[in-house]
Amino acid sequence: MEAKKKPVTGADSGSPVRMKGAEALMESLIREDTGIIFGYPGGAIMPAYDALFFRSDELRHILVRHEQGAIHAAQGYARVSGKTGVCMVTSGPGASNVVTGLADAMTDSTPVVVITGQVHSRLLGTRAFQEVDVIGITKPITKWNCQVSRAADVPQAVAKAFYIASSGRPGPVVIDITKDAQIGELDYVYKKYEPEQELPRVPEPDIEKLDEAARLINLATRPLALIGQGVLLAGAEGELLSFLEKSGIPAAWTIMGQSALPSDHPLNVGMLGMHGNFGPNILTNEADIIIGIGLRFDDRVTSDPSGYARKARLVHMDIDPSEINKIIHADVPVVGDVKMSLPLLTQRISSNEHREWIEKFHACSRIEFERLISRELYPDKKEMTMGEVVRRVSEAFDDDAVLVTDVGQNQMMALRYFRFKRSRSVVTSGGLGTMGFGLPASIGAKLGSPGRPVCVFIGDGGFQMTIQELATLFQEQLPVKIILLNNNFLGMVRQWQEMLFDQRYASTNILNPDFQTIAKGFGIPSVKVCEREELDGAIDEMIKSEGPFLMEVIVEKEGSVFPMVMAGETLGDIRLE
């Protein structure tokens, strides 16, 4: 449970309260509805941690074992809760260790506030002990950053950081606070941030563009909607459902847009992209209109953009004008918050059904099932597949768990075969593809959604990148269920080496430790599954365990993820094997 806020006396009424900068930092975090901070202390951030000590009944701190774990946990928390994640680290290596997570959060539009300690302001630029140029390093990979060197500037910096992180298209921000700003004093008065004129505001939807989009949709006979994470970030799942059910348009989703539409909805035709489903990929080039809703048409969705959706007019609905026409030309751009623009579009379209067109997706699904999925879910070989493990875990949780993934084959298989009933049920590293993301992100996901089971699928390579976060799970006793899909390979790289480098498996064969012994050292129960007959019993044991649990499953060593669109090819070149 997150701690309740306890305001400082007099601060709400506008009467100044004398306090130190570090105390002002904690008070401002509480005012911004922060309940949990993920972090790791150190010299330059020590005053802030001392102030946190006295507010521990209001701010819960999760001590990770590496700063990268702190920011990935904050990302997982933000993605399932819809709130802004917060992490706090020290200067120098503490700050530089969060850079990967900042880049990941920027690429995937995740609202995170990162607080970094900094050396005393008189030492800035002198290469002092544990000094790095945090502002210079993080500027390209943050939505906004600032350095605070006066205690008086702490409240305004925090208020602005939270506003920018969560407004418009969300993203990460950094507040770099010098040590003297933390120990100096100020007269504290809390004030929510009021945006300045120069900050871009979300534009109102253009009615003429909506009219034109509706006209094209009403004329279309082969429409296809593409769902991105923008629907989830806007909280527009209901608006999306109303639009689809009135229009009768089939919908496919990016990996970041997964769970915006329930898996079993009749208009859900599957996943887009390099390892997406056969139907939505191959039929993109048959569509006469594409309605992109809250996605950025990145290369994993479009493949070769010169051959993308040749027959289709394109309506692109997105909150960020910089994404319009960046990769794919939009015939009708609709800039704005899709929670506002989707209902306006739904009002303007005619009720429709596209049964013959949807049947083409069903036909593609049958082909994919016969040639691929049946072999993945019901293999006739001794070795277990990743797909069958994923589906059986999903079914054991009644298709209603939060899915967290690491990166690689385990990620693609989990996204293909896990199923969902509710939104905000997927946490994965999309645009950056960060190995080591899964375990710490699952910690944040569980804290952000404490009432739901959380399953994290990890490969043996990615697991070892942040394996130290098992200690965080043990200390907090969070009931995260870890499913380790072990093929003793860096599987996705190996697959590419098989297909493009004549099976020259350069540095991808991996000698693994005894993961059960490691789990035992961290006080986490585990089971190792080597035979298919053991799987159901192991899943049952995992579900019944009250705390964290590791289920290692030995899967086929040289399995590959299909379908697949090779880099440089068009979606029509998708391979089923």
3-state secondary structure 61-74: EEECCCHHHHHHHH
> What's residue 569's pLDDT?
87
Q: Is the peptide bond before 250 cis (omega within 30 degrees of 0)?
A: no
Longest dimension (CA), the chain: 73
Q: Is the dihedral of CA 168, 173, 177, 182 positive or negative?
A: positive
Active centre residues (catalytic): 67, 129-130, 179, 492
Helices (H), 143-206: 154-166, 179-183
Distances (CA, A) of 488 to 363, 379, 553: 36, 20, 11
Whole-angstrom distance, CA of residue 192 vs CA of residue 546: 41
The pLDDT value recorded for residue 197 is 56
Question: What gap in Å lies between CA 5 and CA 57, rounded to an integer?
Answer: 9
| Low pLDDT (below 50) residues in the chain | 1-7, 9-10
pLDDT at 9: 44
Residue 2: which H helix or E strand, with range?
A: none
At position 303, the amino acid (one-letter code) is S
Distance CA 94, CA 40 (A): 8
Per-residue confidence (pLDDT) for residue 545, from 0 to 100: 96
Q: How many CA atoms lie within 13 A of 266 on its CB side?
A: 7
Q: What is the pLDDT of residue 7?
A: 47
Compute, in degrees rounded to 10, the torsion defined by CA atoms 391, 397, 403, 404: -100
As given in the structure block, the two tokens for residue 197 are 């004129």
DSSP letter assigned to residue 384? B
What is the distance between the alpha carbons of residues 373 and 387, in angstroms, rounded to a whole number? 8
* Alpha-carbon gap, residue 214 to 209, rounded angstroms: 9
* Structure letter (DSSP) for residue 401: S
